[in-house]
Structure 1
């Protein structure tokens, strides 16, 4: 039965992502905004729903390690494996604004996380915590990011006001997008649950399952959506999805989680956050190369995730 659920979960992920990308890209046309903006907002926030669910529930249950580790692990997976595989399928075009603003904003969020959890070093406290005050700071950063996105969307629409637009059925595409998102979330939940059961049955520890299957599992929507977008040659949605998801994960998911309950920080996570920030810088460097992430860069990013996975398996 577990194998059947796993297959059903993957089928829902793949078909749901197909509907989701198609609906979202057509909504972008109807609203006269770029696919990149849809990728940064609707697609990114939608595919981050599993991370939000896992981390918020973990905060409610007082499990800080899962809440923080899930976000950091998912972001590393997004930057390396998701971008890498999508670029291997179809080179990802990178907009100038993504290089100048969105990716640096992702790096800013990662650096802010590193600073806010460094209570022992910076404030000589006995333990490191992500406090409620830290959570409100994250949410304020998130509000600034949303304001920036809405301003870009407004300016984008003004530029397109005099252009001829093909009218598309908005209601149908909204249903496609929502239905696709529902299938992605439900399918991702089935995949994570059944894969975890299989892993435990093979004798893997719960800690190792959490660091690998759960972290990867909550990022399956980003992976499937970005691969589908790459196959459809919607490269702006593919990259915008990743950049937007990583910003959403740190600022909104950790912001809400730490406001709900202050999160104690495991010292091991400092290294992983540093890895996440270094990888974001590498993504920025790759993006500046001819304003695209090609197959060579994609291969290197995917290989970097495999190396990271080997390291955390040995470490733990």
Structure 2
């Protein structure tokens, strides 16, 4: 029964995120918002909502390993497999603003996470914790990121208005219903995934952190994968890149910030390797993005190979 409920939970997460993104994107376009900004905000928030739901539910149930592992695993999955497959299908054009500001902000968020989990090293405490005060610091960083996005929105709205002389009418009622219905499906699906994935993993003797880094991380990142691949096929590269970068920032600052503000999160010492790897992969993404402001097929396959090696490593490690 747990397996059926787990599959049902993933289905609700994926379909819910799909509806959320579709409804919210149509509304955003009607409001004359640029594709990159849609990817960074509406789409990133929608595809990150499964991670948010799962991590917050896990924090409420005192499953810290699932909560932390889910975010780190999802970010690594996004940088490697999502970017890699998307770039392989259709080379991704990267805006100079993404290279100069947004990816560096992802690095800043990742480094901030490394600092807040280093209690044993920095403060000589008995265990590593993301405390409530750490959570509020992460949320403060998220507030700064939101302010930056509002500035970008304000500067780009007039430009987009000038470029699109006419806007197709949209069904506001339908798109609002899709957005709200999708969010509801995401919340229900998140509960099902956390409860059943944890039960199954424990029955196999897996640690909560491994569950978060693998099963839950992949499951909650499927919306990012589906959305980015679809955007690449439709040649909407800006939405694909914005989705991935925005999702990673949301995951660290909003998701872990909110989860730890609700309930302090105990961090497994093994997670340090994963956080350092996440930072290193973000640096690789920055380097790849700077080469002609394009992530090509070869670079995409390199990132996919990196994810395969990472999965082999963490399964052997545990």
Q: TM-score, length-normalised on structure 2?
A: 0.87
Q: Give the distance between the partners of 1:127 and 1:2, measured in 2 at CA.
A: 32
> 1:259 Cα shift?
1.2
User: In 2, are the aligned partners of 1:91 and 1:295 still within 8 Å (CA)?
Assistant: yes
Deviations, residues 27-77 of structure 1 (Å, cap 9, x unaligned): 333111111111111111111112112211222222222211111111111
User: What is residue 107 of structure 1 aligned with on the other side?
Assistant: 107
Q: Give the distance between the partners of 1:196 and 1:206, measured in 2 at CA.
A: 9
User: In 2, are the aligned partners of 1:28 and 1:35 still within 8 Å (CA)?
Assistant: no
Pair 302,170 (structure 1): closer, same or farther in 2 beyond 3 Å: same
Deviations, residues 90-123 of structure 1 (Å, cap 9, x unaligned): 2222111111111111110000011111122222
> 1:169 Cα shift?
1.1
User: In 1, are the aligned partners of 2:69 and 2:211 still within 8 Å (CA)?
Assistant: no
Pair 191,262 (structure 1): closer, same or farther in 2 beyond 3 Å: closer
Give the 3-state SS of the residue equivalent to 1:219 in structure 2.
helix
User: In 1, are the aligned partners of 2:51 and 2:71 still within 8 Å (CA)?
Assistant: yes
User: In 2, are the aligned partners of 1:103 and 1:243 still within 8 Å (CA)?
Assistant: yes
Q: Give the distance between the partners of 2:202 and 2:128, measured in 1 at CA.
A: 31
**Structure 1 residue 35 and structure 2 residue 35: aligned?**
yes
User: What is residue 166 of structure 2 aligned with on the other side?
Assistant: 165
Pair 42,160 (structure 1): closer, same or farther in 2 beyond 3 Å: closer
Q: How many residues align?
A: 315
Q: How does 1:268-287 map to 2 (within 5 A)?
A: 268-287=270-289
Deviations, residues 137-194 of structure 1 (Å, cap 9, x unaligned): 1010000101111111111112344451324215044444455555666677778888
Q: Give the distance between the partners of 1:227 and 1:182, measured in 2 at CA.
A: 24
> 1:135 Cα shift?
0.8
Moved more, 97-106 or 86-95: 86-95
User: In 1, are the aligned partners of 2:50 and 2:186 still within 8 Å (CA)?
Assistant: no
Q: Give the distance between the partners of 1:129 and 1:198, measured in 2 at CA.
A: 26
Q: Give the distance between the partners of 1:174 and 1:59, measured in 2 at CA.
A: 29
> 1:127 Cα shift?
2.3
Pair 286,70 (structure 1): closer, same or farther in 2 beyond 3 Å: same
Q: Give the distance between the partners of 1:61 and 1:2, measured in 2 at CA.
A: 18
Q: Give the distance between the partners of 1:75 and 1:22, measured in 2 at CA.
A: 22
| Unpaired stretches in structure 1, ≥5 consecutive residues | none
Q: Give the distance between the partners of 1:250 and 1:102, measured in 2 at CA.
A: 14
User: What is residue 262 of structure 1 aligned with on the other side?
Assistant: 264
Give the 3-state SS of the residue equivalent to 2:311 in structure 1.
helix
**Structure 1 residue 135 and structure 2 residue 141: aligned?**
no
Q: Give the distance between the partners of 1:179 and 1:296, measured in 2 at CA.
A: 39
Q: TM-score, length-normalised on structure 1?
A: 0.87
**Structure 1 residue 70 and structure 2 residue 74: aligned?**
no
User: What is residue 121 of structure 2 aligned with on the other side?
Assistant: 121
Q: What is the RMSD of the two structures over their aligned residues, measured on CA atoms?
A: 2.8
User: What is residue 227 of structure 1 aligned with on the other side?
Assistant: 229
Q: Give the distance between the partners of 1:92 and 1:210, measured in 2 at CA.
A: 29
| Unpaired stretches in structure 2, ≥5 consecutive residues | none
Pair 12,97 (structure 1): closer, same or farther in 2 beyond 3 Å: same
